[in-house]
Amino acid sequence: MDDIEELLYSNEALCKSIVAHAMEFYGVEQQELNDHIQEAKRNKRPAEKVSVVQALKHLVRDWAEEGTHERNDAFPCILSIVSGL
């Protein structure tokens, strides 16, 4: 259980870092995000999680050991096309 708790904290830190960088990149202020969240709650609009899940899957595919198989399948083809341009 201690290992799981440690991993949860690590995942939370990573997610917070991704959000912080995205907000900085797109020029979104914290108050703007807070207002958006509150409006979504008032309108009973569910959180859109598909984009977040896809982004995290791409992160794993592109950088983590767990994505090695998929990278080895896809990247050589992509790189050969790009290098031929």
Sign of CA pseudo-dihedral 85, 58, 73, 69: positive
Q: Do 2 and 36 belong to one domain? A: yes
Provide the pLDDT for residue 59. Answer: 87
Query: Can you give the residue range of the structural domain that contains 81?
Result: 48-85
The pLDDT value given to residue 50: 79
User: How many structural domains comprise the chain?
Assistant: 2
Q: Give pLDDT tens digits along the chain (85 positions).
A: 999 999 999 989 988 998 899 999 999 999 999 998 899 999 988 877 778 888 888 988 899 999 999 999 988 998 899 998 7
Print burial letters for 33-71: b (CB count within 10 Å at least 16), e (below 16).
eeeeeeeeeeeeeeeeeeeeeeeeeeeebeeeeebeeee
- HSE (CB half, 13 Å, CA atoms) of 44? 0
Do residues 1 and 41 share a domain? yes
Q: State pTM to two decimals.
A: 0.56
Output the pLDDT for position 84.
Answer: 85
Say if residue 38 is in the same domain as residue 73: no
User: Is 41 found in the same domain as 24?
Assistant: yes
